[in-house]
Amino acid sequence: MSAPVAPPGFLPDWVVDLLDDVVRHPLRSALTSISVAWGTFMLVVLLGLGEGLQNAVRHQFRDDATNSVWLYKGQTSIPYGGYPLGRRIVFDDDDIAAIDTIPEVDKLTGRFYAPGRDLVLAHADRKAAFGVRAVHPDHRFLENTQMVSGRYLDPLDLDEKRKVIVIGREIARFLFGDRPHDRILGTWIEVAGNPFQIIGVFTDAGGEGEESEAYLPITTARTVFNGGDRIDQIMFTVDEGATLEEVEALTTEVHAHIAKAHHIHPDDRKALRVRNNVERFQKLSSVFDRLANFVWVVGIGTVLAGIVGVSNIMLVSVKERTVEIGLRKALGETPRSLVIRVVREAVLLTAVSGYAGVVAGVLAVEAIDTLVPANETLRNPTVELDVALFATVLLTLAGAAAGFVPAWRAASVKPIVALRGDA
Amino acid sequence: MIRLDQLRKAYRTGSQTIPVLKGIDLTIEQGELVAIMGSSGSGKSTLLNVLGILDGYDEGSYTLAGELVKDLTEARAAQLRNQAIGFVFQSFHLLPFKSALENVALPLTYRSVSRRERMERAMEGLERVGLSDRADHLPNQLSGGQKQRVAIARALVTRPHVVLADEPTGALDSTTSKEVMDLLLEVHRNGNTMVIVTHEPDIAARCQRTIHLKDGLIDADVRA
């Protein structure tokens, strides 16, 4: 007498039955699982790449205020008001004062460039040319300038035309080597031969380029470099809550005002150029929102296809097992028990394979993140944890839904069929 | 044990109604061994389905072990089948992917019986039909006669009120048929009520009582 093979005792009956059912058709179970896994894999990868693309574009805006409008001077291209063509437009303090009266304008700054734009900065035996911008105190908000030591320019610096300078980290490194930043504050350096005292050192998300810039009070710089009341560029931010339409209206208003003050034809786009970052950013953002929606639609569609596959395969399996189901019913299995059994199998198939797809997708996104260097179109693709959790819940529900029709079919099998045909 | 009063059943196909059982009166006592015979179309399969609570009926009444069996929900019917009836089918109907032992234990899984007890009772059942050495064999590793003996063990494992056998030897050769019949007779001798549907006179001859069906009515009720 050979000993009966008992199923492993530590597993409950329903688990043994369930595994039995799944393992009985390994190929079928595998193919079904793959279709679901592929669906969730694609969803996760698409979401990850979408995030990466979005990060990449956000990165391009990283060092500028996204709610800003920049005005650049130019040359007239349309004759107007008796003035000749090709006249150079120069902003002045009146323009700044006029823009300052508009309530929706939040931070406002002008920029003045000393002749040549780059100026030689020197201290002791070190000297080199760096970009120097003469600005108003609000400039720090427009460029997202972060102080690492000391302070930024303030209104008093401008009023008193103090000879002070704020330098980027790269300049500090060049002039002072590894000397701690707080120990270079108060030091006098030469800017194109004129002494200026360092009051602050900053860092900027824009990287080395931005950190190789220096800032002077616009009033001081214009005096030192014979700028009169000239302003080369005007930048301002709009209240965060403003809609795109409001910003556009505001921009038009500013444009019209300055055009009038400088006798520029209202349609002359070359005399006065406007860069509306609000519009650029919001347009891009809306593209991303649409892209994200699209990704969800595609991803959910793929997952749905997998689930329909599971439902279908379960239906086939129920049909195939009609006799077995009939027999089980004849021997006393209730419809409820059958429904539970079928739904459980569907949930197992979708949840396990779906989750495998999610994990594979997350790994793939991680791999892309590691292997592909950050560039203009892809940066730091990630999948949020809550997406994975959401997917798990969704898959379990979807599995139950997938099992519903087959379960109903199984429950409606008449036990009489067990008496006919062969098992 | 079984009592049928003016039991009637008809099948409806579209607008047509085909009466199959036309008023059956039948009483089967505890411990009886009854054969039901009849040509095809006589209604014997339908009668067996009704007796086995696999199918309902239209009129009359069916009382099983004192309980009226009528208009049951599917769940209740399943429960009653599990408790009261043991089935033996012509083509065995063993689950091909389960061992003989697990097949015998199957009806007990629909009750709250621990696996340990199920396996013990199934093993006892296999011993009773002389197949304890085949407990871990799959059905396709068994001969036809062995399969039917496993099926008989399965029918008995729940200690049912009635064993219903539908052509139990129909798929077997004559030698094996005799062995299976010997086993069924032995089961009966142990006190089980048993109803065997057959078209073989040899089988019917070994039963105490033979009911002949014809056109949905009892044509003859012969006691040996």
Which ipTM value was assigned to this complex?
A: 0.92
Residue A175: other Cβ atoms inside 10 A: 21
Q: Is A170 in contact with A208 (CB distance < 8 Å)?
A: yes
**pLDDT for res B142:** 95
Q: Is A342 in contact with A404 (CB distance < 8 Å)?
A: no
Half-sphere exposure of A195 (CA within 13 A, CB side): 5
Half-sphere exposure of B216 (CA within 13 A, CB side): 13
Lowest mean pLDDT among A182-191, A275-284, A289-298, B28-37: A275-284
For A:1-40, CB contacts with B below 8 A are 1-6, 9, 13, 20, 24
> What percent of chain A shows pLDDT beyond 70?
95
Tokens of A111: 């920029």
Residue B160 distance to chain A (closest CA, Å) = 11
**pLDDT for res A257:** 87
Of the candidates A324, A337, A416, the beta carbon closest to that of B55 is on A416
H-helix or E-strand spanning residue B47: helix B44-51
Report CA Rg, chain A.
Answer: 35
- Residue A204 phi, psi dihedral angles, 5° rounding: -145, 135
pLDDT at A307 over 70: yes
CB burial of residue B116 (10 Å; 0-12, 13-18, 19+): exposed
Domain ranges of chain A: 13-60+283-419, 75-270
pLDDT at B17 over 60: yes
**pLDDT for res A417:** 66
More confident of the two residues B222 and A245: B222
Residue A295 touches partner B, C-beta closer than 8 Å: no
Q: Is B59 in contact with B32 (CB distance < 8 Å)?
A: no
Residue A352 distance to chain B (closest CA, Å) = 24
- Residue B68 phi, psi dihedral angles, 5° rounding: -75, 125
> What percent of chain B shows pLDDT beyond 90?
75
**pLDDT for res A206:** 76
Question: Strand A91-92 relative to strand A164-168: parallel, antiparallel, unpaired?
Answer: unpaired
> In this complex, how many residue pairs, one in chain A and one in chain B, have their CB atoms less than 8 Å apart?
87
Residue A330 touches partner B, C-beta closer than 8 Å: yes
pLDDT in tens, A73-111: 888 888 888 888 888 888 999 999 999 998 888 899 999
Question: Per DSSP, which regions of B14-107 are E strands?
Answer: 16-28, 33-37, 59-64, 67-68, 85-88
Residues of A in contact with B97 (CB under 8 A): 20, 24
Of the candidates A4, A324, A328, the beta carbon closest to that of B99 is on A4
pLDDT at A279 over 80: no
Handedness of CA A125, A128, A133, A138 (dihedral sign): negative
Residues of B in contact with A336 (CB under 8 A): 75
Confidence of residue A63 (pLDDT cuts 50, 70, 90): low
pLDDT in tens, B185-209: 999 999 999 999 998 898 899 999 9
Q: List domains and CATH numbers for chain B.
A: 29-58+73-223 (3.40.50.300)
Residues of A in contact with B101 (CB under 8 A): 4
Residues of B in contact with A24 (CB under 8 A): 97
pLDDT in tens, A368-406: 988 888 877 788 888 877 777 787 788 788 888 888 888
pLDDT in tens, A128-159: 999 999 999 999 988 889 999 999 999 999 99
Of the candidates B87, B91, B135, the beta carbon closest to that of A4 is on B135
Judge: A335–B78 Cβ closer than 8 Å, yes or no: yes
Tokens of A217: 């009070």
Nearest CA in chain A to B112: A13
Residues of A in contact with B74 (CB under 8 A): 334-335, 411
Of the candidates A6, A333, A416, the beta carbon closest to that of B49 is on A416
pLDDT in tens, A7-21: 555 677 777 777 877
Confidence of residue A1 (pLDDT cuts 50, 70, 90): very low
pLDDT in tens, B38-84: 988 898 889 999 999 999 999 999 999 999 999 899 899 999 999 99
